[in-house]
Structure 1
Amino acid sequence: MPTIITCYVRWVDAFNRRVGRIIMYLIFVMIAVLLYSSISRTVFDAPLIWGVEVSQFLMAAYFMLGGAYSMQMGAHVRMDLFYSRWSDRTRAGVDIATIVLLFVFLGALLMGGISSTQYALKYGETSYTSWGPPLAPIKILMTFGVLLMLLQSLSSLFKDIARLRGVSLGGEISE
Structure 2
Amino acid sequence: MPRVLVTYVRWVERFNWLFGRIAMYALLALMGVMLYGALARAVGNPPIWTDEMAQFLLMGYFMIGGAYALQLGSAVRMDLLYSRWSDKTRALVDILTVGSLLFYLCVLLWGGWESLQYALEYGERRRGTWRPYMAPVKAIMVLGILMMILQVLAFTIRDIARLKGEEI
The verdict on a shared fold, with TM-score over 0.5 as the criterion, is: yes
SS of the residue 1:81 aligns to: coil
Q: Name the residue aligned to 2:66.
A: 67
Q: State the Cα distance separating 1:41 from its structure 2 match.
A: 0.7
| Offset, 1:67 | 0.7
- CA deviation after TM superposition for structure 1 residue 110, in Å: 0.5
What's the Cα RMSD here? 0.8
Aligned counterparts, 1:4-15, within 5 A: 4-15=4-15
Alpha-carbon distance in structure 1 between the residues aligned to 2:33 and 2:142: 24
Q: Which residue of 2 aligns with 1:141?
A: 140
Corresponding residue for 2:30? 30
Match of 2:97 in 1: 98
SS in 1 for 2:125: coil
Q: Which sections of structure 2, spanning at least 5 residues, go unmatched?
A: none
Unaligned runs of 5+ in 1: 170-175
What is aligned with 1:159?
158
> What code does the residue aligned with 1:157 have?
T
Deviation at 1:97, TM superposition (A): 2.1
Structure 2 equivalent of residue 55 of structure 1:
54
Structure 1 residue 94 displacement after superposition: 1.4
Deviations 1:29-81 (A, max 9, x none): 00110011011112x11111110100000001000011111111111011111
Take 1:39 and 1:20, find their aligned partners in 2: how far apart are those partners? 30
| Distance in structure 2 (CA, Å) of the matches to 1:154 and 1:64 | 17
> Match for 2:94: what amino acid?
D
After superposition, residues 112-127 of structure 1 pair within 5 angstroms as 112-127=111-126
Provide the identity percentage.
50
Q: CA deviation at 1:26?
A: 0.5
Task: Provide the secondary structure at the position in 1 that maps to 2:66.
Answer: helix
- Worse-matched range after superposition: 150-159 or 88-97: 88-97
Report what 1:85 is aligned to.
84
TM-score (norm 1): 0.94
Query: Which residue identity is paired with 2:13?
Result: D
Q: Which consecutive aligned stretches of 4+ in structure 1 deviate over 4 angstroms post-superposition?
A: none
* Alpha-carbon distance in 2 for matches of 1:11, 1:105: 24
- Of stretches 157-166 and 49-58 in structure 1, the one that deviates more from structure 2 is 157-166
Q: Normalising by the residue count of structure 2, what TM-score does the alignment of the two structures yield?
A: 0.98
How far has the Cα of 1:100 moved from its partner? Answer: 1.4
